Amino acid sequence: MAKIKTKTHSGAKKRFKMTASGKVKYQKTNKRHRLTQKDTKRKRIARTVGIADCTNAPALKKLMPYL
């Protein structure tokens, strides 16, 4: 019997990517609008890539089985 393919979660597909070592990376928040009133330090920190915590990573990998 053929294996049933699982569907990739569309929201997770847009928000997360996998690194080469298997970690889940995402883009930090607060970098979209109203940037003039935000502190420069806050905007600089928001530019960096975030790595998902080890407690959340297995759940995120389940949402993206083929990525």
Q: Is residue 56 domain-resident? A: yes
Instruction: Note whether residue 1 is domain-resident.
Output: no
| Structural domain boundaries enclosing 52 | 9-27+36-61
pLDDT at 2: 86
Query: What pLDDT is stored for residue 66 in this prediction?
Result: 87
Q: Is 18 helix (H, G, I), strand (E, B) or coil?
A: strand
Helix (H) or strand (E) holding 24: strand 24-27
* Number of structural domains in the chain: 1
What whole-number distance in Å separates Cα of residue 17 and Cα of residue 14? Answer: 8
Q: How many whole angstroms separate alpha carbon 18 and alpha carbon 67?
A: 7
pLDDT reading at 1 higher than 90: no
Give the mean model confidence (pLDDT) for residues 8-13.
95
The answer to whether residue 53 is domain-embedded is yes
pLDDT tens readout for residues 28-67 = 999 999 999 999 999 999 999 999 999 999 999 999 998 7
Global pTM reads: 0.82
